[in-house]
Amino acid sequence: MVDVGDKIAGKRTAVAEARVLFPANVAVALRESGLRSAKGPIFDTAIVAGVMGAKRTHELIPFCHPLGLDSCRIAIELEGDAAVIRCTVSVHHKTGVEMEALTGASVAALTVYDMCKALSHDIVISEVRLLSKAGGKSDTVREAAP
């Protein structure tokens, strides 16, 4: 692990995004179903799973520090034929939460896939990326994908 002993604790935030691309007929079926599958409410379940993933990042990614997150919010919107997932994480600590945000967005995307795979196996998870981070040595901001 990276030694963060000499760093100053402060508020650290990160936002990550993932996209789940559906075949057009699947996107139509999801809208018609009210975003439900045979397993239940798709986006609600993905939000819970994404938060759980973000909180357990240190168990999944070697050398990540275990962090008690102050906040983890996941928003999912159906835009055209894609579910756009944004995970926003914050903590007051000596290290950032980029990996937690990326893990939360990824786990939420995997959950959407799992809940929709009975409709098609042509679903694609793409564009998992960090949109912004703040509070550390350097801040980063990227524009959202079109």
> Distance between CA atoms of 77 and 99, rounded to whole angstroms?
22
Q: What is the DSSP letter of 2?
A: -
Spatial CA neighbour of 57 closest among 95, 21, 25: 95
Residue of 44, 114, 122, 139 with catalytic role: 114
Asked if residue 42 lies in contact with residue 36, where contact means CB atoms within 8 angstroms, the answer is yes
Asked if residue 72 lies in contact with residue 88, where contact means CB atoms within 8 angstroms, the answer is yes
122 in active site: no
Tokens 């789940």, residue located: 20
Tokens 């196996």, residue located: 121
Phi first, then psi: give them for residue 43, nearest 5 degrees. Answer: -70, -40
- The residues annotated as belonging to the active site are 114
